[in-house]
Amino acid sequence: MKEKEEKIKKEKMPKEKKEKKTPKTEKAKKEKVKKDKETSEFVQRIKKKWLIDGTKTIILVVLIVMVFLTINAGMQSLDLTPLDFTQEKLYTLTDESKERVKDIDKDVNIYFVGYSDDDADLSLAKQYKSANERIVAEAVDADSRPDLAEKYGIETGSTGIIVECGDRSKVLTSSDLVTYDTTTYETISIAEEKLTSAIISVTTDDIPKVYFLEGYSDDFSLDYGLSYLNVYLQNEITEVETLNILSTGNVPDDCDTLVIASPTQDFSEEAKTAIINYINRGGNILWLNAATAISVELPNVNEVLALYGVNPFEVGVIMETNSSRMVTGSPNLIIPNLGYSKITEDIYSDGVILANATKININEDGLEELNVEETDLATTSEDAYFRTNFNNSSMTATEGEEIGPFVVGAELEKTITEANEETEESALTSTLIIYGENYFISDYRLRQDDQYPAIQISTYNKDLVLNSLAYLSDREEDITARKSTGTVTYTATEQQDTIVRIIIFAVPSVIIIIGLIVWQKRRRKK
């Protein structure tokens, strides 16, 4: 019996020890009880003094709604960046734009004449202030600011966007902020590019000028084949013009970069001489050369290329067999390896897609004699081959076909005159950036089933060519990876859309309904 009592005593000891309370736990428990009591008293006070009376219930609901509206107004006054549910963040200013405007030391006013305060493009423009306090965007009315309407010719009832800095200004229309895909009938926003370009253009004194040589290509011109590029280029800080050397007799002195796109006809003697003179005075060239299936004699074209050590282009097209360096099922759509340079550093690891590219044949042994330095910008894999027989349907290289890797993009810097230490004169150089492709930045579809033109099929196609032009025009600050534009539509996911609707509509509605239900219940109990 005694042993049994001792056993029971031992079994109880741990439990008693566990239940022993310290002064600290006792204090915490008392505080919790006190807090719960205070909360309960507060809830009971609301129920007894407010919800039991219908008038007071209505007043309480009104107060809740007023608090909600006050908080909403307060958030708006803070001018916070709006929520952006578009996939391409069309209404959120990119870090690239912020970087480009942050050092502007002049006051810039952006007037949205005839626009409402909740306009999406105005909200975007207001975000420039977060990067630079001197850039201010606001909505104004033509009637309240007749000085602006009169100065810039904006009629009452119409809209316009004025970007103004001192005596310099640029006027945009709403149609300037979008472009259209004529195949898909899609509206594509280019608002940020246009606004950033306008801000820079009214605050800078040095705007580069790019000329496109015309009259020598059957497939590519600014009006035909390169119209998308024309739009994107004008969104940059660049003036764009066409050049007909037969009319001018020379390359204008204000030409910062000359663009030559896939010549299919030989240069005239006059054009050849004008281009060589341009090179000898330090002019820069962007050359785009699509693959060709027909042999054409172009002696004057080849003479210009030879100044940089580039041999004549051959008939043929590059085909890729490395699955990681091609678009699935399309060996002629290659994804080149990008070399690291100023032009490619922001898009170095990203995909550029080239269609029907040709190889660039560089005379490596003659570069030193020509005072030319070569930098490869884009190359194929070692598994690529150069197809010259277009009747051959084999998916692999056959006998006689050259195997890669091939250069499909290169920078060739030619020293015209050496630097002179005695006179402290810098070296005079001419740079050629050349790509063995033209379709990748064209309006053409890479494949029949593609929805977008080649320049939009990969975000970085346009970046590669725009960065090349910025580099040749000595505007390294414009070398970047640009925002991918898309349709100007609300593209929230179903979950995001549900959350937004709950916040805007459901929460206030639930509060009001609960208040009315409680009021009715209390009223019946009386």
**pLDDT band, very low/low/confident/very high, at 89 (cuts 50, 70, 90):** low
Query: Domain check: are 372 and 519 in the same one?
Result: no
Examine residue 14 and state whether it is found in any structural domain, yes or no: no
In the sheet that holds 284-288, the strands lie side by side as 239-243, 209-213, 257-261, 284-288, 428-435, 407-417, 372-379, 337-338
Would you put residue 194 in left (φ > 0), alpha (ψ -120 to 50) or beta? alpha
Examine residue 26 and state whether it is found in any structural domain, yes or no: no
**Of the segments 74-83, 204-213, 348-357, 370-379, which one has the largest average pLDDT value?**
370-379
Comparing 380 with 84, the larger pLDDT belongs to 380
Comparing 157 with 1, the larger pLDDT belongs to 157
In the sheet that holds 160-165, the strands lie side by side as 135-140, 108-113, 160-165, 168-172
- Integer-rounded Cα radius of gyration of the chain: 34
Query: Domain check: are 321 and 225 in the same one?
Result: yes
Comparing 322 with 177, the larger pLDDT belongs to 322
pLDDT at 493: 41
How crowded is residue 336: how many other Cβ atoms within 10 Å of its Cβ? 30
pLDDT at 15: 46
Query: Domain check: are 355 and 391 in the same one?
Result: yes
For residue 156, give its domain range: 86-206
**What is the per-residue pLDDT across 187-202, written as a single tens digit (0 to 9) for each?**
777 888 889 888 988 8
Per-position DSSP letters for 272-303, written without gaps between them: HHHHHHHHHTT-EEEEE---BSS----HHHHH
Query: Domain check: are 44 and 181 in the same one?
Result: no
Query: Domain check: are 406 and 285 in the same one?
Result: yes
Comparing 385 with 79, the larger pLDDT belongs to 385
pLDDT at 518: 65
Torsion of CA 217, 223, 225, 226, to 10 degrees: 100
Contact 408, 436 (CB under 8 A): yes
Query: Domain check: are 240 and 298 in the same one?
Result: yes
Angle, vertex CA 189, rays to CA 185 and CA 195, nearest 5: 150
CATH number for the domain that contains residue 224: 3.40.50
Comparing 307 with 205, the larger pLDDT belongs to 307
Q: Which two tokens stand for residue 28?
A: 């915490």
Query: Domain check: are 183 and 217 in the same one?
Result: no
Q: Give strand pairing partners of 483.
A: none
**pLDDT band, very low/low/confident/very high, at 16 (cuts 50, 70, 90):** very low
pLDDT at 488: 34
Examine residue 304 and state whether it is found in any structural domain, yes or no: yes
Q: How many domains does the chain have?
A: 3
**Of the segments 2-6, 134-138, 234-238, 511-515, which one has the largest average pLDDT value?**
134-138
pLDDT at 6: 56
Summarize the confidence of residues 33-46 as an average pLDDT: 59
Q: Residue 17: pLDDT above 80?
A: no
Comparing 504 with 117, the larger pLDDT belongs to 117
Query: Domain check: are 193 and 268 in the same one?
Result: no
Summarize the confidence of residues 11-28 as an average pLDDT: 53
Of 61-75, 307-321, 429-443, minimum mean pLDDT range: 61-75
pLDDT at 3: 55
Of 209-223, 262-276, 341-355, minimum mean pLDDT range: 341-355
Q: Give strand pairing partners of 135.
A: 108
pLDDT at 504: 57
CATH number for the domain that contains residue 181: 3.40.30.10
Examine residue 231 and state whether it is found in any structural domain, yes or no: yes
Query: Domain check: are 346 and 436 in the same one?
Result: yes
Cα separations in angstroms, 450 against 393, 443, 463: 23, 12, 20
pLDDT at 495: 47
